[in-house]
């Protein structure tokens, strides 16, 4: 499936409200720069293998481009372009001074050894180094990339430039200039969004059942945070499958199990598939895995009243309309998962002035940004009598297009 088609459909929908002219539409549908490289990496058995990798810088009107790097076998240029566009929208929604970018390597990282992973990470940054940098384009982690991978990339970049540049990349280990709170910030931001929804619609954690699809960094931390706030986590899943227990899981024990076994499957409850999880009887659904999970084929079967999109692009434009008609309220990805890039921004700020904040300072500042963004998006959606995704796009595209006009890039 060509994911960028979804982006084009989303832009067309917003165009019905904002009435873009041809020139604006062109600017919104085409990335400023895209680079595809062929990486050669020596494997442990002495053979050289080639990997295709991409970096797309979608829009930089509001500041240097920003966005993670994904290592996944399904990475392709259309996906990276879409993710880069969503990053531009996301940074504008939360009002941080960045444009949007994304990178990806077409690889299954689970098939690589630690040394192969290191060589590949270094090869990627070597290949893209002319177009990245603390004031140009700032990468970060995404699906299957870690603080260790950020450390290798930073080191490789600094070897090339001969200078220290901690602001090159975010999501670093603390010892190399990472920020406190960055590790769980995507989930923390999403939890703040859910809290704002609960205030708006009047539900309380104790009687709210949550199902989480995906148990990587975002899903796992969401389970941990919401469990701490007394929400009931009744279903979770990862790439190997899912588990369901109506009475709720012991989340700390579940996390321990996942860390030991590499999966949630086998921990307890009934075994379910990732597809079943989405259609469970629950109050809040948290897609925290990959894109295109809720489509026109299953949107009608969703029983949750609220959705918090921790993944990027989990709901297709067709499904958006079905859910909206059904009265499902969704906190869209470009708002709900923006906590990650927001704390990346804090990390970069700390790197640029070489002075570091406490975890409390990080979370207080994150909370302020998320609460403000939620209310701005909610008001935009209400004003335009539409759902939260359109609301966030209107807000973000107004900001991006104003910046483009100020630069003289639009008439």
DSSP lists the bridge partners of residue 106 as 72
The least CB distance from residue 354 to ligand GLU, in Å, is: 20
The least CB distance from residue 50 to ligand GLU, in Å, is: 25
Contact flags string 332-351 toward ligand GLU, x per CB under 6 A = -----x--xx--x-------
Q: Which of residues 24 and 363 has its CB atom nearest to ligand GLU in the complex?
A: 363
For 146, residues 6+ apart whose C-beta sits below 8 A from its C-beta are none
Ranges of beta strands (E only) in 114-174 are 137-138
Distances (CA, A) of 290 to 102, 238, 311: 15, 11, 6
The least CB distance from residue 331 to ligand GLU, in Å, is: 14
Token pair of 72 as six digits: 């996944």
The least CB distance from residue 260 to ligand GLU, in Å, is: 26
- Give the residue, chosen from 128, 140, 191, 397, that forms a contact with ligand GLU under the rule CB under 6 A: 140
Tell me: does residue 312 bind ligand GLU (CB under 6 A).
Answer: yes
Can you count the helices (H) and strands (E) in the chain? 14, 13
The least CB distance from residue 170 to ligand GLU, in Å, is: 5
CA 352/CA 339 separation, integer angstroms: 20
Which of these segments, 61-69, 243-251, 298-306, 354-362, binds ligand GLU (CB under 6 A)?
61-69
Tell me: does residue 178 bind ligand GLU (CB under 6 A).
Answer: no
The least CB distance from residue 312 to ligand GLU, in Å, is: 5
Contact 139, 151 (CB under 8 A): no
Q: Looking at beta carbons, which residue is closest to ligand GLU?
A: 68
The least CB distance from residue 333 to ligand GLU, in Å, is: 8
Q: Specify the 3-state DSSP secondary structure of 114.
A: helix
Task: Give the sign of the dihedral formed by CA 119, CA 291, CA 205, CA 267.
Answer: negative
For residue 310, the 8-state DSSP code is -
CA 133/CA 118 separation, integer angstroms: 20
Task: Give the sign of the dihedral formed by CA 191, CA 308, CA 99, CA 216.
Answer: positive
Tell me: does residue 170 bind ligand GLU (CB under 6 A).
Answer: yes
Contact 318, 74 (CB under 8 A): no
Q: Which of residues 62 and 209 has its CB atom nearest to ligand GLU in the complex?
A: 62
Give the pairing of strands 209-213 and 270-272: unpaired
Q: Which of 13, 32, 102, 380 is catalytic?
A: 102
Tell me: does residue 68 bind ligand GLU (CB under 6 A).
Answer: yes
Q: How many residues bind ligand GLU (CB under 6 A)?
A: 12
For 208, residues 6+ apart whose C-beta sits below 8 A from its C-beta are 198, 231, 232, 283, 284
- Give the residue, chosen from 64, 67, 242, 317, that forms a contact with ligand GLU under the rule CB under 6 A: 67
CA 101/CA 103 separation, integer angstroms: 7
Which of these segments, 62-70, 362-370, 377-385, 393-401, binds ligand GLU (CB under 6 A)?
62-70
* Sole residue written with tokens 């950020």: 150
Tell me: does residue 188 bind ligand GLU (CB under 6 A).
Answer: no
- Give the residue, chosen from 13, 55, 62, 66, that forms a contact with ligand GLU under the rule CB under 6 A: 66
CA 312/CA 205 separation, integer angstroms: 25
Tell me: does residue 222 bind ligand GLU (CB under 6 A).
Answer: no
Q: Which of residues 67 and 317 has its CB atom nearest to ligand GLU in the complex?
A: 67
Task: Judge whether 102 counts as a catalytic residue.
Answer: yes
- So which residues are the catalytic ones? 102
By the criterion CB under 6 A, which residues form the site for ligand GLU? Answer: 66-68, 140, 142, 170-171, 312, 337, 340-341, 344
């Amino acid at each position: 499936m060509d994911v960028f088609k979804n982006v084009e459909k989303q832009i067309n929908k917003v165009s019905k409200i904002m009435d873009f002219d041809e020139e604006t539409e062109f600017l919104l549908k085409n990335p400023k720069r895209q680079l595809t490289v062929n990486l050669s990496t020596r494997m442990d058995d002495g053979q050289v293998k080639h990997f295709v990798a991409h970096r797309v810088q979608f829009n930089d009107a509001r500041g240097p481009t920003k966005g993670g790097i994904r290592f996944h076998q399904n990475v392709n240029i259309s996906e990276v372009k879409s993710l880069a566009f969503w990053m531009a929208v996301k940074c504008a929604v939360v009002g941080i001074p960045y444009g949007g970018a994304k990178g990806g390597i077409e690889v299954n990282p689970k098939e690589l050894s630690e040394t192969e992973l290191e060589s590949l990470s270094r090869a990627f940054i070597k290949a893209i180094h002319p177009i990245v940098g603390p004031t140009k384009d700032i990468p970060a982690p995404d699906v299957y990339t870690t603080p260790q991978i950020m450390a290798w990339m930073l080191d490789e970049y600094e070897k090339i430039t001969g200078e220290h540049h901690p602001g090159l990349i975010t999501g670093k280990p603390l010892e190399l200039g990472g920020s406190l709170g960055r590790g769980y910030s995507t989930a923390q931001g999403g939890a703040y969004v859910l809290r704002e929804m609960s205030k708006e619609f009047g539900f309380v954690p104790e009687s709210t059942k949550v199902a989480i699809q995906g148990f990587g960094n975002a899903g796992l931390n969401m389970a941990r945070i919401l469990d701490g706030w007394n929400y009931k986590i009744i279903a979770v899943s990862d790439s190997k499958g899912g588990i369901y227990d109506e009475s709720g899981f012991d989340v700390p024990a579940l996390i321990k199990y996942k860390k030991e076994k590499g999966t949630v499957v086998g921990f307890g409850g009934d075994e379910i598939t990732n597809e079943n999880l989405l259609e469970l009887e629950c109050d809040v659904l948290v897609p925290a895995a990959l894109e295109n999970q809720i489509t026109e084929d299953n949107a009608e079967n969703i029983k949750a009243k609220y959705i918090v999109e921790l993944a990027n692009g989990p709901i297709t434009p067709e499904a958006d309309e079905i859910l909206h008609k059904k009265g499902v309220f969704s906190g869209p990805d470009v708002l709900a998962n923006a906590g990650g890039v927001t704390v990346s921004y804090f990390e970069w700020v700390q790197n640029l002035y070489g002075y570091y904040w406490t975890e409390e300072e990080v979370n207080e500042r994150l909370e302020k940004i998320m609460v403000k963004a939620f209310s701005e998006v909610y008001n935009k959606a209400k004003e335009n009598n539409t759902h939260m995704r359109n609301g966030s796009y209107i807000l973000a595209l107004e900001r991006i297009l104003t910046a483009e006009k100020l630069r003289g890039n639009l008439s």
